[in-house]
Amino acid sequence: MAVASREVHLIERPEGLPVATQFEIVETTIDDPAEGEFLIRNQYMSVDPAMRPRLSNGQQPLHKPLGAGTIGVVTASRHSAFAEGDVVQHGLGFREYVVSDGRGVSRLDAAGFPPTLYMHVLGPTGFTAWGGMLITGELKDGENVFVSAAAGAVGSVAAQIARIKGCYVIGSAGSSEKCEWLENELSIDVAINYKEGVLRKNLKAAATQGIDVYFENVGGEHLDAALPRMNVGGRIPVCGMISAYNNFGARSTGVTTLSNMVYQRITMRGFVVTDFEEKREKFLDDMRGWVADGQMKYRETVFEGIEQAADALIGLFTGENIGKALVKLD
């Protein structure tokens, strides 16, 4: 009893900002699972900036569903390890249904938390923020911290980890609504709207004690502004450079202040979440504790229906979303 399913395909590689016509919703039919397989009905799909480079660099095939973190429920199974009703997590979105043999699929034990949290604070974006801040960034209690894109899925967790560690925290975001959320809900010290005034000057005014750790999500103008403010021995964990992703694939606005790295002995280091895999249990211990006692807050921007998936992705780069962007399927 095959099921009808819809998928979001990439049909043309974007050079700059992705536009809706580069994506297509394709109707397809999913066969019943064979022996050793099971059928997943997807419920939530993650929308993530890291998807962007893959659209241009060839890692995302054309005319195939976009790869994305996904939570679903098993609706039929001929696999010994997965049963009907299991909630599972995998990377096989953007599609409504998928048949799997179990590779890359894990059962989700939500441990009393809403399952979607495993797509952000308790999932990859939270783990990215935790590892980038505490391992790559070697954050110490009470330091001076700057987080760019601080209202984003990773940035909002990174900024709150710093706040929990007793740091002075400056965050940048692209709207006054986001800045209010950062200061009033997440209780960070100063939120800077980078679309108002001159970022370099506003950052200088806020960073009265300099910056020990700059958690880098944006690149370009943000990095240019942060480098002259770094303290001796400062660290810049580089999580992403979202400003570059739509600029001919991987080029940002030119950064001209890198010579500050020499005298300040700054360390800038790129990382990806898989670098921290062996620390996953420690991450989950920390983060479940912070979420449970209300220290770690989060917000979801939920798009309803697979028809909105491309818009949700585009919204990452136009600054529309607050917190974690998700697509909810019916």
Binding site for a second copy (CB under 8 A): 53, 219, 223, 228, 238-241, 244-245, 247, 250-272, 275
Nearest residue (CB) to a second copy, 3 versus 272: 272
Distance CA 97, CA 117 (A): 21
CA atoms within 13 A on the CB side of 296: 26
CB of 90 to a second copy, least distance (A): 22
CB of 228 to a second copy, least distance (A): 8
Nearest residue (CB) to a second copy, 158 versus 329: 158
Cis peptide upstream of residue 113 (ω within 30 degrees of 0): no
Distance CA 319, CA 324 (A): 12
Nearest residue (CB) to a second copy, 18 versus 33: 18
Nearest residue (CB) to a second copy, 115 versus 137: 137
CB of 274 to a second copy, least distance (A): 10
CB of 44 to a second copy, least distance (A): 25
CB of 98 to a second copy, least distance (A): 26
Nearest residue (CB) to a second copy, 228 versus 315: 228
Question: Closest Cα partner for 105 from 94, 129, 89?
Answer: 89
Nearest residue (CB) to a second copy, 105 versus 227: 227
CB of 257 to a second copy, least distance (A): 6
Do 184 and 173 touch, CB atoms closer than 8 A? no
Distance CA 182, CA 193 (A): 11
Cβ neighbours, 10 Å, residue 102? 17
Distance CA 271, CA 312 (A): 25
CB of 253 to a second copy, least distance (A): 7
- Residue 101, amino acid: D
What is each CA distance from 75 to 43, 110, 230, 243, in whole angstroms?
12, 19, 53, 40
CB of 54 to a second copy, least distance (A): 10
Nearest residue (CB) to a second copy, 221 versus 300: 221
Point out which residues pair with 38 in neighbouring strands.
77, 100
What is each CA distance from 288 to 121, 147, 163, 281, 283, in whole angstroms?
9, 22, 16, 10, 8
Do 134 and 145 touch, CB atoms closer than 8 A? no
CB of 43 to a second copy, least distance (A): 30
Nearest residue (CB) to a second copy, 87 versus 255: 255
Distance CA 266, CA 263 (A): 8
Nearest residue (CB) to a second copy, 46 versus 252: 252
Distance CA 155, CA 316 (A): 13
Question: Closest Cα partner for 216 from 246, 239, 190, 245?
Answer: 239
